[in-house]
Amino acid sequence: METKTVETRAAPVRYLEGGAGKPLVYLHGAGGLTPGDPLLAALAASHHVFAPFLPGYGETEDCPKLRDMLDYTLHTFDVIEALGLKDPILVGHSMGGMIAAEMAAIAPHDVSRLALIAPAGLWLDDHPIPDVFSLLPFEMPAYLFHDAEAGAALMTAGLKMDDPNFLQDYLVRNARQMGMAGKLLFPIPERGLAGRLYRIKAKTVIVWGQSDRLIPPVYGLAFEAAIAGSRLVSVPDAGHMVIIEKPRAVADAIASIA
């Protein structure tokens, strides 16, 4: 994957690009994205993958101009246009899935293939989603991974925790990233998407890890019921980070709409 930059009205946008084939745009979740992401690698085997960072992620500045759901939605259309793409396969994970679903609902004729991986955006009173904004780092893996221990090892790999600047760097990065994510997800990750999902015309696949403890799989059923003709793929032995734990299964599901 190569890292590049493209200009948009809101901010310069960093993105990862790699692979060859049909163009595919991947929108990352609130935790961000690294060039070594295993799902991107799997997708790049058969697609031309573009993975833009939301401003505030990937060492970019946060963007005060992006405030609400509509801003984020239109900004992402601006990114696609700036990349010179038209109706790419649109894939989003978690927060990225929320943005992708919103785009497909707002402009149903511009999004014909949609893959939502454990998307945020709905709220079921009987199945409250844990508040990621008050979780401490060591509490995260249990919510994010099917195998929490392996997940914890993954999350801390390569971190220089004995570096005196580590805490400050961590806090700055976290504030940049989760500050931007908070505009969509805080305090409840719901901005009215439920009332707009009916507009989606895209061929849609929904992917969910069976042991997702952050956004439980029951949300997958709600998305499936709300998007006409959509198909739900349930992945065993995977949590919210199904993209890390079972990238092959996710890539196969995406291939089914391509």
Catalog residues that contact another protein under the rule CB under 8 A: 62, 64, 67, 133-136, 139, 168, 171-172, 174-183, 186-188
Distance CA 119, CA 138 (A): 23
Measured from the CB atom, is 159 or 172 closer to another protein? Answer: 172
Task: Output the smallest distance, CB 225 to another protein, in A.
Answer: 28
For residues 192 and 120, is the Cβ–Cβ distance under 8 A? no
- Concatenating the DSSP letter of every residue in 32-49 gives B--TT-HHHHHHHTTEEE
Task: Output the smallest distance, CB 146 to another protein, in A.
Answer: 23
Side-chain half-sphere exposure of 57, counting CA atoms within 13 A: 24
Task: Output the smallest distance, CB 163 to another protein, in A.
Answer: 16
Distance CA 198, CA 163 (A): 50
Task: Output the smallest distance, CB 39 to another protein, in A.
Answer: 25
Measured from the CB atom, is 20 or 175 closer to another protein? Answer: 175
Residues near 127 by beta carbon (within 8 Å), at least 6 away in sequence: 216, 218, 219
What token pair was written down for 111? 């999004």
Measured from the CB atom, is 103 or 181 closer to another protein? Answer: 181
Distance CA 16, CA 41 (A): 11
Strand, coil or helix: 27: strand
Task: Output the smallest distance, CB 222 to another protein, in A.
Answer: 23
